[in-house]
Amino acid sequence: YKDKKKEEKRRSDIIYALPSFINQLLLLLNSGMVLQEAMIYIAVSYKNMDENHYNVFIISYIKIYDDFLKTGESILKGFYRFGKDSRVKELSRVAGIIADSGQRGTELWDRLAAEGENLWAERKRIALEKIRLSKRGMEMVQVAILVAIAVTLGLIFKSEITEFVNDTFGSLNKSRF
- Residue type present at position 87: R
Instruction: Give 149-165 pLDDT, tens digit per residue.
Output: 888 877 777 777 788 87
Instruction: For residues 91 and 119, give the distance between their C-alpha atoms in angstroms, rounded to a whole number.
Output: 10
What pLDDT score does 144 carry? 79
3-state secondary structure of 107: coil
Q: Exposed, middle or buried by CB within 10 Å (0-12, 13-18, 19+), for 129? A: exposed
Q: Considering the chain, what is the average pLDDT of its residues?
A: 84
**Global pTM?**
0.65
For the cut 90, the answer to whether the pLDDT of residue 40 exceeds it is: yes
What pLDDT score does 175 carry? 74
